[in-house]
Amino acid sequence: MADQVLISTCQCGQVRCQAVGGPILSGVCYCDDCQAGAKMLEALDGAAKVREEDSGTHYLTYRDDRFSCVKGAELLRGYQNAPDTPTRRMVASCCNSAMFLKFAKGHWTSAYASRFAGDVPPVEMRTQTQYRTSTLPLPGDAPVYRAFGAKLFWRLITSRIAMLFG
């Protein structure tokens, strides 16, 4: 059976990324870094919303060997909350669409779920709710963690092992 391929595109269609297979995780993050980054990106001229109504950001996290920019990579621009931050948010400069973020020390890429077309995997967990700024009730669609749950780290470790052994 062939691996599923999900396509993400910027608002104007000049940048296209693809993710192969299932994600390591489909999760919503409420950490202060993600909220600050989302606020910065949403302030760009013509940018689409990155955060959900309850202040979280939904990501599909893929192994680096399963996520790639297949069109318009030269249009991607990196944004950081601070110069020494290891997280770089990649934006399609043609239309200011937030596409994905890359944690420099990791083997994964977290793509903004809102940029994907088709059936996006459902949310599996909500993390870092200790930083949540919304007063809306938390959705009851997935487990909730005040910090980063052990399940997240387990998935990252097992995905790294899978990358090493093909």
Q: For 39-78, what is each residue's pLDDT tens digit?
A: 999 999 999 999 999 999 999 999 999 999 999 999 999 9
Chain segment 27-37, per-residue pLDDT in tens: 999 999 999 99
pLDDT at 2: 58
Task: Read off the pLDDT of each residue in 2-31 and give the average, rounded to a whole number.
Answer: 95
Answer whether residue 1 shows pLDDT above 50. no
Give residue-wise pLDDT tens across range 86-118: 999 999 999 999 999 999 999 999 999 999 988
On the question of pLDDT at 144 being above 60, the answer is yes
Closest CA to 27 of 133, 108, 117, 118: 108
pTM score, whole prediction: 0.94
Look up the CATH number of domain 5-164. 2.170.150.70
Task: Give the helix/strand (H/E) hosting 17.
Answer: strand 16-20
Query: Cα(80)–Cα(104) distance, rounded to whole angstroms?
Result: 11
Residue 154 has pLDDT above 70, yes or no: yes
**pLDDT for residue 3:** 82
**Strands, E, within 104-150: which ranges?**
108-112, 125-127
Can you give the pLDDT at residue 149? 85
Pairing of strands 67-71, 57-63: unpaired
Question: Is residue 166 predicted with pLDDT exceeding 80?
Answer: no
Write out the two tokens for 64.
């680096």
Helix-strand-coil split of the chain, %, nearest 5: 25, 35, 45
What pLDDT is recorded for position 118? Answer: 86
Domain boundaries of the chain, sorted by first residue = 5-164
